[in-house]
Amino acid sequence: MRITFAVVSAALGIILGACSEAPRADLVLTGGRIYTGDSHLGTVEALAVSDGTIVAVGRDAEIERRVGPNTRVIELAGRFALPGFNDAHVHLAGAGQQLLSIDAAGTRSLAELQARLAARLKDFPPGAWITGRGWDQSLWPEAQTPTRDDLDAVSGDHPVLLKRVDGHSAVANSAALTIAGITAATPDPAGGTIVRDAAGRPTGWLKDKAVDLVARHIPAPTMEQLKRGLELAIADTLAHGVTSVQDDSVRSFGWAAFEALAALKQEGKLRLRVSEWLPLDAPLDQLEAWRAQGGTDDPWLKTGALKAIGDGSGGSLTAAMLAPFANAPGNTGLLLIEPDRLNELVANRAAAGFQIAVHAIGDRANRVALDAFEATARTTGKTDARHRIEHAQFIDDADLARFAKLGVIASMQPSHLLSDLRWAPAILGPAREHEGYRWHSLLQSGATLAFGTDYPVEGINPMRGLYAAITREFEAGGPIGGWQPQERLSIEQAIRAYTLGAAWAEFEEARKGTLAPGKFADIVVLSNDLLNASPQEILNATVEITIVGGQIVYQKQ
Ligand SMILES: [Zn+2]
């Protein structure tokens, strides 16, 4: 790819030498403040694109010479532009299915829930399952849990299962209960309750393990459903200025997720660049077959890292910790993979040339992942494999420098802090609070930071991540000065982690991450100059134009 480009550039250079005019560009952005992210180029006024690639950056007068009769010109009129964001950790197919389902969050009455359900029926083929989540009857004037009859009144012939906001219970309609074979005679399952009325008839409200009695009948999404969901998630992503993602869909939806993305690419609907992860514990010959089929170099869709889950999460006290949680004596969380097994898988797959990404939240899980990478580096003699730890939320002092030393990327999601601040100080306790979300310490140590969101766990909007990274405060503000303020980043450091750092994490730093000649024309135009804005202005900044490969893929109406 780069060789081809160099050859073409050299040929162009010879032609250019012959005639003194600059070649005409396909697209020119002028009159702006364009933050290139390249330390030598700095901030420029204008930029020219040919064949999807940036060919020149500089002053308006220099770049305007490249405007010809067929050049599309975007007048920035002082607006701010920067490299497209690269989200290093998303679940695109999961986000898509969530966008296809019923969002019941924030409903203020049963009638509003019914109206939301009724409004979406047309999006589902006859008889298709409808799922959703987010209702909370405590916010409703009636304060009553919805029943099967409430759903039946609007659901037609669709089986419906709507989870409560906490995910621990759900309401099913009669069609869903019938498919699951739940009647008055059905006993409660172990660990669950089928709620019944005074006459013993199931009301539709299912608690804990009883939800599974219905949920297990919901079929996996069809190829059409996968594609429709992905289209929605891709549109959401582009509308927020994210032009590349590193995606963990195959682990949840199988190879069909890659095939759905490939079909969208074929149909010209994949206008987002995707690096698709594969499950670390799949058989090696299967992984090699997928890598051969999906490729590793296509600018739009390729296979990437192998993902493993090392532990649970902080909020549920299932992250694997070296010492018990401060608010749960005796509880050190849970490793979800045995260290010996992880070492073996990492050694074996790394030897086959795969990059590996381990989900590790707790300080013990981080140590176990670093140990596996260190053991592999020792046998292969390589520290350039760019293995990565996903989340890397709590890092013991003794392990911090190991990221840089081993060349392990810290792939972190700063917007998690905006939710986690509610409980992170309490679970860590005063002695370990400094272990949390150590962005600045990692950078100082020489490690590479790659930022992302874990979409749809957090929204895809990068502005929340940038805000979190520079303030370490809640969106509404506070704690004053930020939680563990020594770990705050400058806005330029945060942007870099979200662009060039993320590009490095997917071996794409030669083609992505800055606005320099030779790189993909993946550009975002914003409402605010991020380098001269207050944290609240950054949080509220909106995307005006998203450009991928020199094409406008989103424009604010
Ligand atoms: Zn994730």
What's the CA-to-centroid distance between 251 and ligand 1, angstroms? 11
What pLDDT score does 96 carry?
Answer: 97
Among 91, 41, 364, which Cα is nearest to 237's? 91
What's the CA-to-centroid distance between 220 and ligand 1, angstroms? 20
What's the CA-to-centroid distance between 364 and ligand 1, angstroms? 19
What's the CA-to-centroid distance between 375 and ligand 1, angstroms? 25
What's the CA-to-centroid distance between 410 and ligand 1, angstroms? 14
Spatial CB neighbours of 481, under 8 Å, sequence gap ≥ 6? none
What's the CA-to-centroid distance between 253 and ligand 1, angstroms? 14
Contact 226, 260 (CB under 8 A): yes
What pLDDT score does 167 carry?
Answer: 82
- pTM for the full predicted model: 0.90
Q: Determine the Cα–Cα distance for residues 18 and 13; give it in Å rounded to an integer.
A: 9
What's the CA-to-centroid distance between 457 and ligand 1, angstroms? 7
Among 439, 510, 516, 460, which Cα is nearest to 82's? 516
What's the CA-to-centroid distance between 366 and ligand 1, angstroms? 15
How far does CA 203 lie from the centroid of its chain? 37
At 203, the amino acid letter reads T
What's the CA-to-centroid distance between 147 and ligand 1, angstroms? 33
CB atoms under 10 Å from CB of 452, counted, come to 30
What's the CA-to-centroid distance between 151 and ligand 1, angstroms? 32
What's the CA-to-centroid distance between 91 and ligand 1, angstroms? 6
What's the CA-to-centroid distance between 126 and ligand 1, angstroms? 33
What pLDDT score does 6 carry?
Answer: 42
What's the CA-to-centroid distance between 171 and ligand 1, angstroms? 27
What pLDDT score does 21 carry?
Answer: 67
Which letter does DSSP use for residue 382 in this model? -
What ranges make up the beta strands (E) of 352-497?
356-360, 388-391, 409-412, 449-451
Sign of the C-alpha dihedral computed for residues 502, 503, 504 and 507 taken in this order: positive
What ranges make up the beta strands (E) of 485-529?
523-526
**Hey, which residues does 54 pair with through a beta bridge?**
49
End-to-end CA distance of the chain: 36
How many Å is the maximal CA-CA distance in the chain?
92
- pLDDT tens, residue order, the chain (557 aa): 344 444 444 444 444 433 456 789 999 999 999 999 999 999 999 999 999 999 999 999 999 999 999 999 999 999 999 999 999 999 999 999 999 999 998 999 999 999 999 999 998 889 999 999 999 998 899 889 999 999 999 999 999 999 998 888 999 999 999 999 999 999 999 999 999 999 999 999 999 999 999 999 999 999 999 999 999 999 999 999 999 999 999 999 999 999 999 999 999 999 999 999 999 999 999 999 999 999 999 999 999 999 999 999 998 899 999 999 999 999 999 999 999 999 999 999 999 999 999 999 999 999 999 999 999 999 888 889 999 999 999 999 999 999 999 999 999 999 999 999 999 999 999 999 999 999 999 999 999 999 999 999 899 999 999 999 999 999 999 999 999 999 999 999 999 999 999 999 999 999 999 999 999 999 999 999 999 999 999 999 999 999 999 999 999 99
What's the CA-to-centroid distance between 200 and ligand 1, angstroms? 41
Among 304, 316, 301, 298, which Cα is nearest to 419's? 316
CB atoms under 10 Å from CB of 214, counted, come to 26
Q: Determine the Cα–Cα distance for residues 418 and 13; give it in Å rounded to an integer.
A: 50
What pLDDT score does 9 carry?
Answer: 45
What's the CA-to-centroid distance between 203 and ligand 1, angstroms? 35
What's the CA-to-centroid distance between 256 and ligand 1, angstroms? 19
Contact 383, 463 (CB under 8 A): no
Contact 223, 169 (CB under 8 A): no
What's the CA-to-centroid distance between 547 and ligand 1, angstroms? 26
What's the CA-to-centroid distance between 307 and ligand 1, angstroms? 10
pLDDT digits (tens, 9 = 90+) for 14-65: 444 334 567 899 999 999 999 999 999 999 999 999 999 999 999 999 999 9
What's the CA-to-centroid distance between 43 and ligand 1, angstroms? 34
Q: Determine the Cα–Cα distance for residues 184 and 434; give it in Å rounded to an integer.
A: 54
Contact 175, 160 (CB under 8 A): yes
Q: What are the C-alpha distances in Å from 38 to residues 138, 324, 407? A: 52, 44, 22
What's the CA-to-centroid distance between 197 and ligand 1, angstroms? 40
What pLDDT score does 18 carry?
Answer: 37
What pLDDT score does 418 carry?
Answer: 95
What's the CA-to-centroid distance between 455 and ligand 1, angstroms? 7
What's the CA-to-centroid distance between 454 and ligand 1, angstroms? 5
Q: Determine the Cα–Cα distance for residues 220 and 240; give it in Å rounded to an integer.
A: 29
What pLDDT score does 48 carry?
Answer: 98
Sign of the C-alpha dihedral computed for residues 215, 221, 226 and 229 taken in this order: negative
Which letter does DSSP use for residue 70 in this model? T
What's the CA-to-centroid distance between 423 and ligand 1, angstroms? 19
Q: Tokens standing for 339?
A: 């260290």
The answer for 381, left when phi > 0, alpha when psi is -120 to 50, beta otherwise, is left
What's the CA-to-centroid distance between 90 and ligand 1, angstroms? 6
Among 462, 460, 453, 459, which Cα is nearest to 526's? 462
Give the containing element (helix H, strand E) for 408. Answer: none
pLDDT digits (tens, 9 = 90+) for 22-33: 789 999 999 999
What's the CA-to-centroid distance between 28 and ligand 1, angstroms? 37
What's the CA-to-centroid distance between 274 and ligand 1, angstroms? 15
Q: How many helices (H) and strands (E) does the chain have?
A: 22, 24
Contact 52, 549 (CB under 8 A): yes
What's the CA-to-centroid distance between 88 and ligand 1, angstroms? 10
Give the containing element (helix H, strand E) for 30. Answer: strand 27-30
What pLDDT score does 2 carry?
Answer: 41
At 4, the amino acid letter reads T
What's the CA-to-centroid distance between 96 and ligand 1, angstroms? 14
What's the CA-to-centroid distance between 139 and ligand 1, angstroms? 30
What's the CA-to-centroid distance between 160 and ligand 1, angstroms? 27
Q: Determine the Cα–Cα distance for residues 259 and 230; give it in Å rounded to an integer.
A: 11
Q: Determine the Cα–Cα distance for residues 28 and 199; give it in Å rounded to an integer.
A: 72
What's the CA-to-centroid distance between 441 and ligand 1, angstroms? 23
What's the CA-to-centroid distance between 360 and ligand 1, angstroms? 11
What's the CA-to-centroid distance between 249 and ligand 1, angstroms? 10
What's the CA-to-centroid distance between 456 and ligand 1, angstroms? 9
What's the CA-to-centroid distance between 186 and ligand 1, angstroms? 36
- Give the full edge-to-edge strand order of the sheet including 523-526: 43-44, 33-35, 80-83, 523-526, 543-548, 551-555
Sign of the C-alpha dihedral computed for residues 218, 219, 224 and 226 taken in this order: positive
Token pair 């195959």 is found at 250
What's the CA-to-centroid distance between 391 and ligand 1, angstroms? 8
- Give the full edge-to-edge strand order of the sheet including 160-164: 102-103, 130-135, 160-164, 169-172, 202-208, 192-196
The values of phi and psi at residue 90, to 5°, are: -135, 165
What's the CA-to-centroid distance between 309 and ligand 1, angstroms? 9
